[in-house]
Structure 1
Amino acid sequence: MKKLNFLLTLAFIIVVQLSAQTKVGDATLPNEVTFNQEKLVLNGAGIREKFFFDIYAGGLYLKTKTTDAESIANADETMAVKLDILSGMMSRSKMEGALREGFEKATNNNTASLATRIDKFINLMQEEIEVGQVYDIVYEKGKGSVLYKNGVEKGFVEGLDFKTALFNIWLGKKPADKDLKSEMLGK
């Protein structure tokens, strides 16, 4: 009887853990994360594709689910974008190029006031990017935009204006990937 109870308990724990995650391509993203002592829920997730290759799984985490991209990007509250690297095609230099292009699109080529902070953020990614690494780009209210690699803080950049431009890389009018934007918004 004790063995049966143990097996039933174990099965229950496995089912609960599996239901607390979302499968996105070859990645598994948690349905909840905590940053800055605030619980965030998965708003939506999808795959960033380029030339038919899955580059990364991306998830958007918010305090409360919404489909309003503009209000998300402009909100002064803790939120996160999780990037789970799926392809060796994503290198540090390609990520840098993608971020710079994303900032240009997100600001309509008006990056002058953000240039120093863009450089600082990109320089937080000193190490080569590899398959299986997870990057969390977190706006922590009161601190700024924080970059975590595999759960370790790499540094942060201050300013709500910077955060707005950063999140508009995925959620703006000219996003890095329209399908991923829609999926992150839960549409």
Structure 2
Amino acid sequence: MKKIITLTAIVLISTLSMAQIRVGDIVLPYKVNFDGEELSLNGAGMRSVLGFDTYSGGLYTKKKYNDPKKVLDSDESMSIRLNIVSKKVTNNRMIKVFRKGFDDAMFGNTQTLDARIEDFLKLFASPMKINDYFDLVYIKGKGIKTFKNGEELGYIEGRDFKYALFKIWLGNEPACKLIKGGMLGLSK
């Protein structure tokens, strides 16, 4: 009987540990579900500035990717989760990072996206604190739904918007090379 209980406990613990992954101090779920579609963690990384962790980023997809171009060009549902790990990450700083990220990702060519970028940035108006997390979810053929701590904040239409948003982390000059490599499962 003791052997059965021990074996059951080992199986349960190993199953639970496989259901999530640790990135720095953040624990990310291995699977998430949005609009009835299950997405699996493709990979994740931590952004550090001057040796201090600021936020983690995880990419969730329906199938595994290690080529950023395929992620950017894909019209399948996928998500990026950002977890705040520093009090230095404020809503004003995040808005500045997004604004610069869009500009860099699109080489300053954001005119067709400007109104949607402004609407997106408004979703980050509320204060942020450590352990807040944001899901930037692309719904196939539609656009980006943004969630904060599981609560929907808003929706921005367009696959072109998804391309620009995801390019912030997965483009040729990403906001953070460690997060890009982590999201693509290329670095540990």
Which TM-score band (shorter chain)? over 0.9
Partner of 1:30: 29
Partner of 1:115: 114
Segment of structure 1 superposing worse, 139-148 or 85-94: 139-148
Matches within 5 A, 1:76-155: 76-155=75-154
| Alpha-carbon distance between aligned partners in 2 of 1:13 and 1:135, rounded to the nearest angstrom | 29
Partner of 1:57: 56
Contact 1:79 1:138 in 2 (8 A): yes
Note the C-alpha offset of 1:5. Answer: 5.4
Partner of 2:167: 168
Unaligned runs of 5+ in 1: none
Q: How many residues align?
A: 186
Note the C-alpha offset of 1:174. Answer: 1.2
| Alpha-carbon distance between aligned partners in 1 of 2:130 and 2:3, rounded to the nearest angstrom | 40
Counterpart secondary structure, 2:138 = strand
Contact 1:36 1:78 in 2 (8 A): no
Counterpart secondary structure, 2:112 = helix
| Alpha-carbon distance between aligned partners in 2 of 1:184 and 1:93, rounded to the nearest angstrom | 25
Report the residue type matching 2:64 in the other structure: K
Counterpart secondary structure, 1:111 = coil
Aligned-pair RMSD on alpha carbons? 1.5
Change in 2 beyond 3 A, CA 1:48/1:170: same
Segment of structure 1 superposing worse, 164-173 or 142-151: 142-151
Contact 1:59 1:184 in 2 (8 A): yes
Contact 1:45 1:184 in 2 (8 A): yes
| Alpha-carbon distance between aligned partners in 2 of 1:74 and 1:153, rounded to the nearest angstrom | 25
Note the C-alpha offset of 1:71. Answer: 1.5
Deviation track 1:99-141 (CA, whole Å, cap 9, x = no partner) reads 0000001100001110100010111122111101111111011
| Alpha-carbon distance between aligned partners in 2 of 1:60 and 1:99, rounded to the nearest angstrom | 17
Counterpart secondary structure, 2:175 = coil
Change in 2 beyond 3 A, CA 1:94/1:6: same
| Alpha-carbon distance between aligned partners in 1 of 2:53 and 2:113, rounded to the nearest angstrom | 30
Contact 2:168 2:174 in 1 (8 A): yes
TM-score of the two chains, using structure 2 as the length reference = 0.93
Note the C-alpha offset of 1:10. Answer: 4.5
| Alpha-carbon distance between aligned partners in 1 of 2:3 and 2:150, rounded to the nearest angstrom | 37
Counterpart secondary structure, 1:113 = coil
TM-score of the two chains, using structure 1 as the length reference = 0.94
Note the C-alpha offset of 1:11. Answer: 4.5
Counterpart secondary structure, 2:76 = coil
Contact 2:142 2:159 in 1 (8 A): no
